[in-house]
């Protein structure tokens, strides 16, 4: 087989081909919670979760959606003159509310000047036909991306990290959402407690069976003020965190197993240094990590889908 010109299906190329102008996501915080926080399924939330590790300063749930968009767009418009915006419902579970409130918030976002679509992060067990119907209607005139936190394809891992849902529920959620005019995304954490290298590589095989359009890959990071931080301090043997070189070797093998049409949105996470406990990769920026991944793929003469088995 001959390697493609680009060794993986990258997100920036997708955006350039999809939209006429530069596109910027504006993160929003609705103030919603999660079913493993409010007691309906569990308490405490996911053991690794601290939303402060990715929420911008302007994201405050007390502020209306319009105000958050206004402040976010004001921040980014000073950097770029011509661009469009995607309203990114990011923090916690953004389909976990009454239908009337969801419809109001989504509609308010897409009606804001310059906003051309939605990106909605949620859990696989917090979706239903009514919510899909709302999103399908919006998708007739706007871009709508629905992202599920998959995190692992192993039920034992999902239990360990207190996700309070199963991989079977993940598969059912994608079945419900497919063929509805939605861009379907997945979020995956690599290096969760107890998973072997072979099991983590098999995540690529299982993800490739799902009707997903894009994928965000994150290495496990231990963040302050989480249950996982307490576990890491008191039971460090639970964890086998990736060093940078190990991760480069692993992620390039992982990419080789992925279905070739899946858009890879990111290879890693980058938590603020004041919240990060481990692993520390020397302050490596996202674009620097991407360059290293591309170099390693070239060195191994590998590419996305090289080892994919339909």
- CA angle at residue 20 from 17 to 26, to 5 degrees? 95
Read off the pTM: 0.93
Task: Please state, in angstroms and rounded to a whole number, the distance separating the CA atoms of residues 97 and 52.
Answer: 21
The Cα–Cα gap between 194 and 197 comes to: 10
Contact 50, 224 (CB under 8 A): yes
Residue of 173, 195, 185, 182 lying closest to 254 (CA atoms): 195
**The tokens 């990769």 sit on which residue?**
281
CA pair distance 138, 126, nearest whole angstrom? 19
Q: Does a cis peptide bond (omega within 30 degrees of 0) precede residue 279? A: yes
**Two tokens at 292?**
């290293």
Q: Which residue has the tokens 């990419």?
A: 255
Instruction: Map out the domains of the chain with their CATH numbers.
Output: 11-299 (3.20.20.70)
Each residue's pLDDT, cut to its tens digit, for the chain (310 residues) gives 666 678 999 999 999 999 988 999 999 988 888 888 888 888 888 988 886 655 556 556 678 999 999 999 988 887 777 689 999 998 888 988 899 999 999 999 999 999 999 999 999 999 999 999 999 999 999 999 999 999 999 999 999 998 989 999 999 999 999 999 999 999 999 999 999 999 999 999 999 999 999 999 999 999 999 999 999 999 999 999 999 999 999 999 999 999 999 999 999 998 888 999 999 998 899 999 999 999 999 999 999 999 999 9
Is residue 161 within 8 A of residue 187, CB to CB? The reply is no
């Amino acid at each position: 087989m001959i390697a493609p010109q680009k060794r993986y299906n990258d997100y920036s190329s997708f955006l350039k081909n999809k939209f006429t102008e530069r596109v910027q996501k504006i993160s929003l915080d609705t103030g919603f919670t999660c079913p493993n926080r409010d007691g309906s399924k569990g308490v405490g939330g996911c053991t690794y979760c601290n939303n402060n590790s990715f929420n911008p300063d302007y994201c405050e749930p007390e502020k209306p959606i319009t105000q958050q968009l206004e402040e976010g767009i004001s921040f980014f418009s000073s950097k770029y003159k011509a661009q469009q915006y995607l309203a990114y419902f990011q923090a916690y579970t953004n389909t976990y509310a009454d239908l009337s409130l969801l419809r109001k918030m989504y509609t308010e976002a897409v009606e804001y000047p310059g906003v051309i679509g939605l990106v909605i992060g949620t859990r696989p067990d917090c979706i239903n036909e009514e919510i899909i119907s709302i999103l399908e209607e919006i998708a007739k005139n706007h871009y709508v991306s629905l992202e599920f936190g998959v995190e692992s394809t192993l039920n034992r891992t999902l239990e360990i990290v207190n996700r309070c849902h199963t991989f079977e529920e993940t598969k059912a959620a994608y079945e419900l959402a497919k063929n509805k005019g939605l861009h379907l995304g997945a979020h995956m954490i690599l290096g969760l407690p107890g998973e072997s290298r072979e099991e983590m590589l098999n995540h690529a095989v299982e993800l490739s069976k799902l009707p997903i359009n894009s994928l965000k890959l994150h290495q496990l990071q231990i963040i302050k003020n989480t249950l996982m931080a307490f576990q890491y301090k008191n039971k460090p043997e639970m964890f086998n965190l990736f060093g940078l070189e190990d991760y480069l070797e692993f992620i390039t093998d992982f990419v080789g197993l992925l279905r070739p049409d899946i858009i890879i949105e990111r290879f890693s996470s980058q938590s603020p240094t004041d919240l990060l406990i481990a692993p520390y990769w020397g302050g490596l920026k996202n674009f620097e990590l991407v360059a290293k991944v591309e170099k390693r793929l070239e060195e191994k003469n590998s590419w996305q889908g090289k080892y994919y088995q339909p």
